[in-house]
């Protein structure tokens, strides 16, 4: 299991971006776009981790302005 911690910056509020991407990922035709957006923001994330997060296959928590989730990659 790998834990990922996605922090915010002055330019980006991570919990809001992740919630927005999860909503958009519900539309199958748009999935590659949302994977690309998240991959651009956090290039260290494996594609499998992004897909699991956005598809809600794994839960995530929010601590302050950080999104935390665990996946098997």
Phi/psi for 5 (5° steps) reads -125, 115
56: left (phi over 0), alpha (psi -120 to 50) or beta: left
- Whether the CA torsion 40, 64, 10, 17 is positive or negative: it is positive
Confidence of residue 73 (pLDDT cuts 50, 70, 90): confident
pLDDT, average across residues 15-35? 98
State pTM to two decimals: 0.92
49: left (phi over 0), alpha (psi -120 to 50) or beta: alpha
């Amino acid at each position: 299991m790998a834990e990922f911690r996605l922090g915010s910056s002055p330019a980006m509020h991570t919990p809001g971006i992740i919630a927005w991407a999860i909503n958009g990922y519900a539309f199958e035709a748009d999935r590659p776009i949302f994977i690309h957006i998240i991959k651009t923001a956090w290039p260290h994330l494996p594609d499998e981790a992004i897909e699991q997060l956005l598809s809600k296959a794994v839960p995530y928590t929010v601590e302050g302005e950080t999104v935390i989730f665990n996946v098997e990659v």
